[in-house]
Amino acid sequence: MVKKSILYIFIYTLLVGCNTQNPLTNDECETDCYLNIEAPSLQMDENGYYHIEWLEGYNQTFSTLDANTGSTFLIQKVYWGSDKGITYGGEPVSCVNPASYTDNGVAHTVMSVWEVMINDTITVYAGYYDNCDNELRDSIKVVVDNFN
């Protein structure tokens, strides 16, 4: 009986990403997961907009973005999208990679901008489903600046 209880506790610990009620029972599922996108290598202005500086002489300028989920035990798949992009080879290309996975509650993706986006404001979206099947979403705005 004790071994069985320890096994259930171990499985429960592996399954729970954020604080929830026991998924092994029929209790209503509650969670304290969240989603917060940040751009740690970009500057944020007083309006909450991030700024990426276009690097003259390059085809693209890159930055990394983080999505904090609060889920430190469970690996989450985070979906990314943006409202801007380009067409390359007849196919639409987004400013961000479409998906990444969390490590210790943080997912990372790469954002790229092209010269045609200088002076544009790009909205980047992220979302994931927690272990209660709640969809959590967040977005940030990134301004493409050209100081050359």
pLDDT tens, position by position, 132-142: 899 999 999 99
β-strands 36-38, 106-114: how paired?
Answer: unpaired
Domains of the chain: 33-145 (2.60.40.10)
pLDDT tens, position by position, 100-113: 999 999 999 999 99
How many angstroms separate the Cα of 10 from the Cα of each of 1, 4, 13, 43, 71?
14, 10, 5, 42, 17
What single-letter DSSP state applies at residue 90? Answer: T
What's the one-letter identity of residue 77? K
Residue segments in the chain with a per-residue pLDDT below the cut of 70: 1-27
In terms of residues, how long is the chain? 148
Residue with tokens 């592996």: 14
SS3 137: strand
Helices H, strands E: what count in the chain? Answer: 1, 11
Q: Is the pTM of this model over 0.75?
A: yes
